[in-house]
Amino acid sequence: MGPEHTALPGPKHPREISAWRAAACLPARIAHGRPVNLAGRTIIAALAGYAAALLTAGTPSAPAAVTGCALWWLATARADLAPPPGR
């Protein structure tokens, strides 16, 4: 019999590579963007989520209110980041 053939590892999935690249670029995007505005949005979202959790404690709407504050932060934080490298 001939030599055994082993499969070579193929290229990684493009989405996996881009996710790691995006995570690696995030500190630079924050530093070159508007970090004070981003910190302000973070504080506002955290305080609003905390207040919502206190005011609606024990009700079914408490997790929804906190999730809404987190989603607001995620939706608006991108405006304070610098463009990714290469754009």
% of the chain exceeding 70 in pLDDT = 78
Count how many domains the chain has: 1
71 token code pair: 């989603």
Asked if residues 44 and 16 have their Cβ atoms less than 8 Å apart, the reply is no
Whether 22 is covered by a domain: the verdict is no
pLDDT for 26 equals 85
- What is the residue-averaged pLDDT of the chain? 84
Average pLDDT score over residue span 30-52: 94
Whether 75 is covered by a domain: the verdict is yes
Strand, helix or coil for residue 84: coil
Whether 78 is covered by a domain: the verdict is yes
Whether 60 is covered by a domain: the verdict is yes
Whether 7 is covered by a domain: the verdict is no
Whether 29 is covered by a domain: the verdict is no
Asked if residues 56 and 62 have their Cβ atoms less than 8 Å apart, the reply is yes
Whether 69 is covered by a domain: the verdict is yes
Whether 9 is covered by a domain: the verdict is no
